[in-house]
Amino acid sequence: MIIVIRPKTQKEQLDKLKEKIKKLGLQIHESIGQNYHILGLIGDTRVLDLSQIEGNRIVQKLIHVGEPYKKANRLFKPEDTIIKVGDRAIGNGEFSVIAGPCSVETKEQVIEIARQVKSSGADFLRGGAFKPRTSPYSFQGLGQTGLEYLKEAKKETGLPIVTEMMSPEMVEKYADDIDIIQIGARNMQNFDLLKKVGKLRKPVLLKRGLSATIEELLMSAEYIMSEGNEQVILCERGIRTFEKFTRNTLDLSAIPVIKKLSHLPIIVDPSHAAGLWWLVEPLAMAALVVGADGLMVEVHNDPANAKCDGQQSIKPEKFNNLMNKLSKLKESMR
């Protein structure tokens, strides 16, 4: 941590600040240039109340040298984290695939899709029972009934279930039925929800917020981990930019960056990123080659009648085709 001192600061005020810092057990390396004056702090700077430093009128700015996350930091845990779900795993060097409809609509639909994606090689079944929608007038999901259908699909196919939870109460009620709890992009900084899933001991799939930096995503993972649950899977799903042709801009550079900064597994959701079904295949393949641990993809057997996200869902045959291409690609990269 480096503190830049405002020019023409009075010695007395500076001494007060330095004393305050030293009392917290930190060392100070002071550098005075021609035009600049900085304090470099050595030690565990998490003891500092940053806003108190920043609020000090003699402080021009704070510069962070290290990362503010600890449990998610590869510096402190160099080996990759592997998340186990039954006999499956994410982060073990394989490329795990989560597939299924945007929302659960009928029992038949979800079971049929589950069977199809399983036969194509998917490892997990996704499906929304509770849907966060921008408009209150859009379909909000089947709720608990949707969850029941997912469970039946799991019974039929053996595929573990990934589904979104939107509030601490929901987690309370339904967590037991779910194999991987998804936290949506809009809830990435719903801190009460993060703390709640942090108290569980089951995998959490944390999606990057629409305008969240990589560091903020890792800080949200840190929230979950600091409550004791270290089974966090990250998910890149596109960020908001000025480009409007695609719904969001998929940030594939984030994959190798996160692999460097953190030991947590990271998967990619090309369906939500692009918002266009014909972009799913190329982006999924790109996700594999940049080093993602897996994929989350929307598959629907009748997109023109899907209750949500029809324009970004691919049909089961397309999905099967994609799985074949991914497998060939994986083979070539060994």
Q: Closer to its own copies at the Cβ: 63 or 119?
A: 63
Alpha-carbon radius of gyration of the chain: 23
Q: How far is the CB of 155 from its own copies (least distance, A)?
A: 28
Q: Which residues contact 276 (CB under 8 A, 6 or more apart)?
A: 246, 247, 311, 312
Q: Which of residues 84-143 bind its own copies (CB under 8 A)?
A: 102, 132-139
CB 154 within 8 A of CB 136: no
Integer Cα distance of 287 and 252 in angstroms: 7
Q: Closer to its own copies at the Cβ: 10 or 134?
A: 134
Per CB under 8 A, the list member of 44, 86, 144, 317 interacting with its own copies is 44
Q: Binding residues for its own copies, how many (CB under 8 A)? A: 109
Q: Closer to its own copies at the Cβ: 24 or 50?
A: 50
Q: Closer to its own copies at the Cβ: 160 or 293?
A: 293
Per CB under 8 A, the list member of 92, 189, 301, 321 interacting with its own copies is 189
CB 191 within 8 A of CB 218: no
User: Dihedrals φ, ψ of 228, to 5°?
Assistant: 115, -10
CB 274 within 8 A of CB 283: yes
DSSP state of 299: B
Asked if 313 touches its own copies (CB under 8 A), the answer is yes
Region near its own copies per CB under 8 A, out of 117-125, 142-150, 167-175, 199-207: 167-175
Integer Cα distance of 211 and 189 in angstroms: 11
Asked if 226 touches its own copies (CB under 8 A), the answer is yes
CA 54 to chain CA mean position, Å: 29
Per CB under 8 A, the list member of 150, 183, 214, 322 interacting with its own copies is 214
Asked if 187 touches its own copies (CB under 8 A), the answer is yes
Q: Which of residues 247-286 bind its own copies (CB under 8 A)?
A: 249-257, 260, 273-274, 278-279, 282-283, 285-286
Facing residues of 266 across strands?
234
Integer Cα distance of 60 and 53 in angstroms: 10
Helix or strand holding residue 180 (H, E):
strand 180-183
Q: Which two tokens stand for residue 140?
A: 């909000």
Region near its own copies per CB under 8 A, out of 104-112, 146-154, 239-247, 316-324: 239-247
Integer Cα distance of 281 and 317 in angstroms: 12
Asked if 24 touches its own copies (CB under 8 A), the answer is no
Asked if 222 touches its own copies (CB under 8 A), the answer is yes
Per CB under 8 A, the list member of 15, 24, 52, 86 interacting with its own copies is 52
Q: Closer to its own copies at the Cβ: 139 or 151?
A: 139
Torsion sign (Cα): 142, 146, 149, 154: positive
Per CB under 8 A, the list member of 23, 33, 93, 201 interacting with its own copies is 33
Per CB under 8 A, the list member of 22, 31, 106, 108 interacting with its own copies is 31
Q: How far is the CB of 199 from its own copies (least distance, A)?
A: 13
Cα torsion at 174, 178, 180, 186 (round to 10°)? -40
Q: How far is the CB of 158 from its own copies (least distance, A)?
A: 29
